[in-house]
Amino acid sequence: MNTYYLVRHGQTVWNTLGKTQGHGNSPLTELGERQASELAEALKNYPIDMIYCSDLGRAVQTAEIVGSKLNIKVEPTNLLREMGFGIWEGMPMKKIEKMYPDTFRMWREEPDKAHIPKGEALSMVKDRTEELIKMLNDKYDNRHILLVSHSVTVRVMLLDFLESHVRNLYRIKQDNTALNIVEYRNYGPVIMKMNDTRHLKTDKNRGANEKVSALE
C-alpha cells in the first residue's frame, strides 16, 4: 500500500495580492521559494520515492525546489491542477464579490453547488484526483509519493480520503507548503498528518499563510 505526501505550493505573488489563481498562474515570491526549501529539508526525513505535481507553474516551481534537494525527478500532471475559476481568475476577491454577489455567496455557503462562469465544479476536481490516485495505486505498491498541488485540490483530496462531501471544503485549512500524510491500508486511506507547517522555521514564514487568498 502506498503512502502519499500531499503539499500545497509556496506563496505566490497573486497570493499576496489576494487575486484568484485557479488555472491562471503567478510565480512564487521570495518567501514562497524559502518555504519550498524548508519543506524540502523536512522531507529529507521521509523515504520519498517519487514526485508528482500539478502542471501549473507555481506547483512545478515548488516541486522542482524539493526535487532538486531530494535528487528526484518531478512528473507534472494536469490531474493535480487547481480548480479552474473561469472568469474569476486574476480578480481580487472583493471585486468578485461585488460583480458576482450571488455566485460568490453560493461559493462561500454551498461550494459544491457553485457554478462559476467558464470554471470547474468541485466534483470535477474530485473526479480527476480520484483518477490519479487509482492510477498510482494500480501502478505502484509500498511507495512513498509526494504530490504537490493547490489549496482547493488538496482539500478536496483530503475530504475524499475521509469519505466526506466536498461541501465541507471550508472545514479544512491548507497553508502554503503545508504537509499532509496519507497512508493506504487494507481498509482504506488513513490521514496521519494534516496542514503541518512546523518545517517553516520563522514566525514570518508561518504568519504569511494567514494572508493568502482563499481562492488560491
Residue 23: active-site member: no
Q: Which of 38, 82, 89, 120 is catalytic?
A: 82
58 is an annotated ligand-binding site residue: yes
* Mean pLDDT, rounded, for 186-207: 85
State pLDDT tens for residues 97-149: 999 999 999 999 999 999 999 999 999 999 999 999 999 999 999 999 999 99
Q: pTM for this one? A: 0.94
State pLDDT tens for residues 179-190: 999 999 999 999
143 is an annotated ligand-binding site residue: no
Q: Which of 9, 23, 150, 199 is catalytic?
A: 9
Written as nine digits, the cell of 46 is 521521509
State pLDDT tens for residues 19-42: 999 999 899 999 999 999 999 999
Report CA-CA distances (Å) from 51 to 36, 162, 200.
14, 23, 20
Burial grade of 140 (CB within 10 A; 0-12, 13-18, 19 or more): middle
pLDDT mean across residues, the chain: 94
In CATH terms, the superfamily for domain 3-85+122-196 is Phosphoglycerate mutase-like (3.40.50.1240)
171 is an annotated ligand-binding site residue: no
13 is an annotated ligand-binding site residue: yes
Whether residue 15 contacts residue 59, with contact meaning beta carbons closer than 8 Å, is answered with no
State pLDDT tens for residues 67-86: 999 999 999 999 999 999 99
Residue 82: active-site member: yes
- Interacting residues of 164 by C-beta distance below 8 A, sequence separation 6+: none
